[in-house]
Amino acid sequence: MAAKLSAKLCFGSGFNTDGRSRAIESRPVWPGVNVQFYHKRRCAAAELIMGGKQATLAVNGNSNRGRDTKWSAEGENGVRKKVRVAYQGIPGAFSEAAATTAHPGCEGVPCKGYEDAIWAVESRKADRAILPVEGTLEGNAVRNYDLLLHHSLHIVEEIRLFVNYCLLVAPGVRKEQVRRVMSHPMALAHCSHGLKKLGLDVVTREAVDDTAGAAEFVHSRGLRDTAAIASCRAAEIYGLDVVARGVQDEPWNVTRFLVLARQPYTDEDNVGVGAVVGVNRAWKTSIVIAHEGGLEVLLKLLSVFSFHNISLTKLEVNPQGNAPLRVLDIDAKGGAAVRQFEYVFYIDFEASEADPHAQRALEEVRRFATFVRVLGCYVARPKIHTLDP
């Protein structure tokens, strides 16, 4: 890189009226290149401005570390308030159901997108965010794990939900009248054969932000040629008829959601969500690893975890294709540095980060992988929750 470097890395403690973060800290990053970083909306992603072009960077390191010592669910006088859980969508969305399953009685904070839900937590409008991350059915892969990399929230809980899709129409409409089906892209992908079985394979499919949003759209416009794929609860909320239940391609359709918070849970919080002291298998740790070298690192990873007798419950290799992942490593030895990776590995293993075997395994991984970040350590919850009676 030819340009000169005087980089600024800024952690904003608030926003200016134009929505940009105020810089409260700046430090040099990369001698020889003129780079400027600032934190946008107080998240861990920074913008790299080089030659007039901007790129978002994932950040290794947690800008919130040590700051947020109190649960924001705790009010001014120490009185516990309702936990506010941000989710993508509107009431009736599956993510809302996952939020209330994880935190019964919580206050749902509806958000336009997944990243908005994360921002809601970062800007303290919510205490937790909930994101769907993987499902038993194929379809549009949920790339929410990538979002975790661009922010510094911690995974504090997981929750599994049996997702039963229903076909909803305006009152009195018959399925033969349906010319268009609307839903979240994942729901549309999960119901392709289901729609065929209902004789609706030739209708137009339209993807919208969330399943409940599709139901609300049909309701608010009084559409008589459009159906929504959503939950039965969405039918109740938006006054729609359920013309078919269980329209997913396979009867077994489970989605795993992650609950995110600004700080890791305390022991007390973990006991509250079912931690059993001394039982290692009851814990899970999610990490992300990237290496400049590429796929050969996979074998090394597998042998490290196998040597320490730690089971993996998820291993996702995510080739970054033409757009390598750029990571601003603020914890790098010798000062923050920008790195590029062609492969990113998402791993969940069955042990607590605090377990000595896990610590040794992580130490070994850190020796050969260029980038390792622990996304969270939380109580494993294999239970599958159902919504419909």
Ligand X SMILES: O=C(O)C(=O)Cc1ccccc1
The residues that are catalytic are 255, 257
End-to-end CA distance of the chain: 61
Alpha helices in 49-206 (DSSP H): 94-102, 114-122, 144-149, 185-190, 192-197
Is 212 a binding residue for ligand X by CB under 6 A? The answer is yes
Assigned token pair, 170: 């305006």
Q: Residue 238 CB, nearest distance to ligand X (Å)?
A: 13
Q: Residue 279 CB, nearest distance to ligand X (Å)?
A: 30
Q: Residue 113 CB, nearest distance to ligand X (Å)?
A: 11
> Binding ligand X by CB under 6 A: which of 57, 148, 187, 258?
187
Is 90 a binding residue for ligand X by CB under 6 A? The answer is no
Is 89 a binding residue for ligand X by CB under 6 A? The answer is yes
**Which residues from 138-177 bind ligand X, rule CB under 6 A?**
163
Q: By C-alpha distance, which of 249, 225, 90 is closest to 164?
A: 249
Is 184 a binding residue for ligand X by CB under 6 A? The answer is yes
d(CA 232, CA 238): 10
Q: Residue 184 CB, nearest distance to ligand X (Å)?
A: 4
Q: Of 87-95, 283-291, 299-307, 370-378, which part binds ligand X (CB under 6 A)?
A: 87-95
Ramachandran quadrant class, 77 (left: phi over 0; alpha: psi -120 to 50; beta: rest): alpha
Is 93 a binding residue for ligand X by CB under 6 A? The answer is yes
> Binding ligand X by CB under 6 A: which of 126, 186, 235, 288?
186
Query: In DSSP terms, which residues pair with 244 in a beta bridge?
Result: 167
Q: Residue 257 CB, nearest distance to ligand X (Å)?
A: 8
> Binding ligand X by CB under 6 A: which of 210, 216, 329, 348?
210
Nearer to ligand X, 85 or 212 (CB): 212
Q: Residue 90 CB, nearest distance to ligand X (Å)?
A: 9
Nearer to ligand X, 148 or 362 (CB): 148
Q: By C-alpha distance, which of 282, 285, 301 is closest to 293?
A: 301
Q: By C-alpha distance, which of 186, 114, 108, 112 is closest to 145?
A: 114
Q: Of 22-30, 31-39, 89-97, 313-321, which part binds ligand X (CB under 6 A)?
A: 89-97
Is 7 a binding residue for ligand X by CB under 6 A? The answer is no
Strand order in the sheet with 53-60: 46-50, 53-60, 325-329, 337-341
d(CA 54, CA 47): 6
Q: Coil, strand, or helix at residue 245?
A: strand
Q: By C-alpha distance, which of 100, 184, 84 is closest to 144?
A: 184
Under a CB-based contact definition with an 8 Å cutoff, are residues 146 and 318 in contact?
yes
Task: Write the CA distances from 77 to 72, 85, 265, 268, integer angstroms.
Answer: 12, 21, 21, 20
**Which residues from 102-141 bind ligand X, rule CB under 6 A?**
132
Q: Residue 384 CB, nearest distance to ligand X (Å)?
A: 13
State CA 347 to chain mean position distance: 14
Classify residue 162 as exposed, middle or buried by CB count within 10 Å of its CB (0-12, 13-18, 19+): middle
Residues in binding contact with ligand X, number by CB under 6 A: 13
Nearer to ligand X, 35 or 235 (CB): 235
> Binding ligand X by CB under 6 A: which of 21, 63, 211, 226?
211
Is 255 a binding residue for ligand X by CB under 6 A? The answer is yes
Nearer to ligand X, 169 or 297 (CB): 169
Is 218 a binding residue for ligand X by CB under 6 A? The answer is no
Is 62 a binding residue for ligand X by CB under 6 A? The answer is no
DSSP letter for 236, please.
Answer: H
Site residues, ligand X (CB under 6 A): 89, 93-95, 132, 163, 184, 186-187, 210-212, 255
